[in-house]
Every structure is written in structure tokens, then in C-alpha cells.
Chain A
């Protein structure tokens, strides 16, 4: 499939629907009158909402009601805080990356270490919160979708901890390529169901999870893994990830004595980015950058740069930017990173892009893998390939900041904070294959050729 059906350049330019940004909201934002934090949904400007079958609306209402009450309940917030501290290992560190910074124009670079959380990424923040919500609703079963397996593993972890049955939907092709992650989920007590419908990718896993949810909604909570989907998911998933940005803001003030010039995060569905951005949304002088998967390059059509090249549409319950052809059929996305390989994006990102509060740029597979190698060799930290997109973006942002210094300013006066959203252990086989580190006759070589992310 090619992207000849897609518009290029300014996202949504000339598209009537995209012009439907709430003019009042944009003005209020520009005049700094209105806080962008804690946006409750269901709408983020023209995005969000509930484009869902009626059969599921009662469940979404119940979820929203439970979530609203939980947020206001000190017992619930204390439970979340306790799990974050004593199970997930929060607060995560903020680490200055001095040797990596030399490749970022010499600005100061700090890494928000979500990779040090239990299960190795930011995903744990959301699954613990939602699993607690499921328990409050009296549900005994959670279902989840997963691409490479990260959200599936995190969901299985939370379900094991809280005594919930867990079923994970995963593209059939992915279950074969990610056999070790399937085993990991099974070790945690979850059932993994291979999805053979449609393109057998992450979006089809979400479709099958939704079909399961329609049929089993009485007992089952859909533990959606990213800040997308129908209301209240985008606002709720962000809520559980807001801790990232809140900690980072406090830590950078403590360590550097001031706010950063820029925040960098990778964006697939956009959950780690929205959690990180949230702490700084109202700090208008802090630039926010989201880096999408540019795959082979956005000009090749093989990418997942949804905001950069997509058009507004509805998928999986929300109106947002979407990779779609001229018929409104969802297009296949491509990325070396399974976690960013999704043709949609959370609606709050679409809104932040339209009003100009956050900027979204594509990073190619090659750029991401170069940053992956660099961070590993300069800091002794192997990042997730998803995260490597944010690191490659930080290299660009840092160099731009260094090239645009005011009178008397030095590059080292500038500060960039990167959300290091996950560790790269799962990506070792892919990376080893990419950098040709495996002997031709090794078992791992065969695995790597199939894209295994251990």
C-alpha cells in the first residue's frame, strides 16, 4: 500500500473537519487564559468522543462514573500511590546523560527513567490504575490488546497481582514472532489468543478485544493500553501516566534549578508522551515534541507517522488523526518498533498538534537505530526501540537549540528532557540483527530475521 491517497504537508490542510478546531479554545490557549491540564474529555477540541457501538456505551458510562469517583476518593489515590512506590518502584530516576548530550549539540540532556519501572516501561502506571478500577467495578476479568507484547505483559502482571483473569489478544503473526513474550504472559497466568482476522496486526487485536468486550461486558473490563479509544479512555490513561510529567518537573527543578527548554517523547498511541507532556502543558516556554515512527521514511508510504501525514477520522472509538486511504479504510502502518506500529493516535495529541502546543515529527527506523546504538554506548543504557525515536528526536532538537542561541548564551545553558519510556532488553534480537551482530548459523539470527523482539 502506498500513501498516494494521503495528504502531505500541513496536517489536515484543506480538510473541512480538521478546520473545525474549537476557535474559542485555541484563542483562550493563545492568550494563556486557560489551563490545558486535566482536560476531562470527552472532547479535545474536535477530537475524542465515543464512536462506538451502542452495546458498549453503558460499559463506558460505568467506567467513567467509577473513574470519576475513584479520582476523588483518597483511599483510591493512596492505593495507586502505594502500588507506584512499593510495587512499580516509583518515583523513577531523572538521569543526566552527559556523554549522549555531546551528540545533541552540547545541550544538557536528562532522561526520565521509566525503563527502571517494574516490567521495564511506563506501561505499568496505566495497568495498575485500570486494574484497580476494574476491581472497583466488580469485574473479575480483564482483556487487553498487544502488539509486541509489552502491554500484554504489563496487563498480565497487574492481573496476577490483583487476582483478575486476564486474556490478551495478539496478532497471530506477532504471537509467532514474539514467542517469548507469549510465554511470559502465560507464565504470569494470562491466556493469549492469536488474532487471525484482518491484517493480523495490533489494530486487529484491538478489534477482537472489542468484540470480546461486547459479548462479555458484564464481567469484563477492557484494559486498553494507550491514551486512545472512546471516552473515558484517553483521559483516564493519561491520568495514570501524569505521574511521569509531575515527577520529571519536580526533579528537573531540583537538579537543574529551572524548567527545561524542550521535552521529547515517542508517540504511537501516545500514552507515555501525554503523561510526560502533562506536567509541562501550562509551562508555555517549555517546547513539547512528539516523535512518530517514520519507518522507511514518510515518502515511502511505509511508516506510522499518523499526525504528520494522517487525516482526521474515527477508529476504535475516537475521532483523531488516522492513516487512511481515500475510501476511509485504515491503512497498514510500518515501523521497526512494534510499539509505535499503529495507524491511529490519541485524540489529545491531535488537539495539541492542531493548536500548536506540541509539535510532532517523524523519525525513521535508521535514525532511531542510530540513537539506540549511541545511548547504549555513551550511557550504558539500552533503550526500547520505541524510546530510541524520542532519543533521535532529542538529538535533532538539541542541535537546533544549539544552532539558535541568543547573545551570550551557551549550548550548555539549554536543557532537554527525554522520556526514556522503556528498556531495550526485549529488542536485543532485533537490534543484533539490524547491526549484523549475529553469526549466520545462530538460532538468534533466524529469530532476528523474523523481527523477534525478545
Chain B
């Protein structure tokens, strides 16, 4: 805990900035390795999100494997949480159902292990911070690493409050994916890029998750700012649902994150629909030859 800070944005205490700056490929970052592999194949990385336990744990594992087998490079598994302030209706409804179906937080490690045992895809966990805090940050990190997880995406944890997580993620070699937004100041961009490991998550629009017809020009400005601040990998999320959008964003970003559209596909058509949408989305990842 940072109990002695007097300002609103106390300096970020990064254990080893040289090593942690969005993870040079040599740092052992699983997320970085997955994105670099896509890059070496002339593609932007495709990152797919599903909430754990929707509608049950086994389906999440099956759908995760299906995503990996059909063109996703990184898998993002969300922990259903009672107060998901960054999520729109589709994901909220899915996570409410997961909780109603009895999902408990420790099952996240079963999901991660189930996917990583069967595929090479890097698996990140997306979580609001209180469930991690409740289990204990170090204990959570230890179990996530043991399950084969790559790291955490943390929508309501900013580097300013993350000293415990910075420490635990270093200890267990886990990726720290913090968010940056169109509203992020240059100084905060620098601090957040410096504190991240693996990649930085560029929020495409000011808003919450959910499919949008256009993600607009703001996303590109955020990615450019992240790159200028030294981020080797910046991936764009929020609002992406079609291969055309993947193509548009993949032209300038290192990875493209799709969530709501995959959740809706799973809801409406099961694992096969997730596989099909993933195949379709992956047709947009090829970068034009330089």
C-alpha cells in the first residue's frame, strides 16, 4: 500500500524499469512472445475475451481452446465481478449469469490451466481489483503463474495504486497490462507504459465495453502516444467486433482485442459460433506489406 503519498499521482515505483517496459521479448513475457510471433508472421495479434464460467467453466475452457485453434494469439479470460464499471450490457449479463451459475474466483485457475494445457496461446486474466485483493495479491499471482497464466489486465487498477502487484508480478514473471485512454495525459502515458509488462491496453473510445460501428480516430492517437512513450506493444480494445475493424486497427496497432462480439457469439451459438467468428476476425489481422 502506498500510504505515505501526498499527491494525487504519486511516482510509480517500478521494480526494474529497464526490464519491465512493456516487456522486451527477452523478459520472458508470454504476452510479448505471442504478439512478437504474430508480428513475425506479418500480422497484428488477435486477442479474444470471454468471461469465465459463462455459462459454465468447461464451456469457457472449450471456447478458449476453440479461439486458439482458429486464429487467436492471446486469450483474455474475465473474472465475473459484482460491480463491473467498465463493462457494457452484453458482458454484464454474461457475468451476472456466470455468478448465478455458481462461479467462484478460484475456478479462474482451472480455466487458465484447462486452456494452457491444450494450446500454446498466452492466457491473460482480466479482473477488477477487489477479488485479487481479497485473495491476497501475492497468493493470486502465485496461483495464476502455477496455472500457466501470462498475467493480468486490470481495468480499475492504475499503476499509482499497484505497488503490491508490481512486486508480485516481478516475483512470478507475470505480465501487467494497464490501460491507457484518449484522456491519458503525456506524463501518465509515460508512467503507465513504464509500469506495464507484455503490452499496454489502448482504450479506443471514452466509454465501456460493447460493439460499436466505428472506433474512431482516438484509438490511433492513443496507440501513437503509447509507442512514442516507448511501448513496444500497444493493443486496442473496446468496440471492435468485425474483421473490417480488425483490419483497420491492425494497420497501426500491435494487437486487436475483441470481447463483446465473442461473448454474444457464445451466448447465441455456443462454442462453434465462437470458432466461426474467430476465423472471420482473423482474416483481418494481416498487415499490408511494408
Contacts and interface: CB of A to CB of B under 8 A. Distances in A.
B15 interface: no
Given A42-B8, A198-B92, A316-B83, A326 B136 contact: no
Interface string B80-92: 0111111011001
A192 B155 CA distance: 28
B140 to A, nearest CB: 10
Interface stretch (A52-60, A240-248, A371-379): A52-60
Contacts of B113: none
A58 B134 contact: no
Contacts of B6: 40
Contacts of B92: 197-198
B185 interface: yes
Given A61-B9, A207-B85, A53 B156 contact: yes
A330 B133 CA distance: 13
Interface in B117-143: 129-136
Interface in B33-91: 81-86, 88-89
Nearest to B87: A211
Contacts of B185: 58, 61
A100 to B, nearest CB: 40
Interface in B196-238: 203, 206-208
Given A16-B136, A20-B3, A328-B132, A51 B157 contact: yes
A327 B133 contact: no
B2 interface: yes
A60 B185 CA distance: 12
Given A54-B179, A54-B203, A313-B133, A210 B3 contact: no
B161 interface: yes
A454 interface: no
B181 interface: yes
Interface in A177-215: 197-199, 203-204, 207, 210-211, 214-215
Interface of A: 16-17, 20, 22, 40, 42-43, 45-46, 49-61, 64, 197-199, 203-204, 207, 210-211, 214-218, 231-232, 311, 313-316, 319, 322, 324, 326-330
Interface of B: 1-9, 81-86, 88-89, 92, 96, 99, 104-105, 129-136, 155-158, 160-161, 178-185, 188, 192, 203, 206-208
Given A42-B7, A314-B156, 7 more contacts: A16-B136, A22-B3, A50-B158, A51-B157, A54-B188, A59-B183, A216-B206
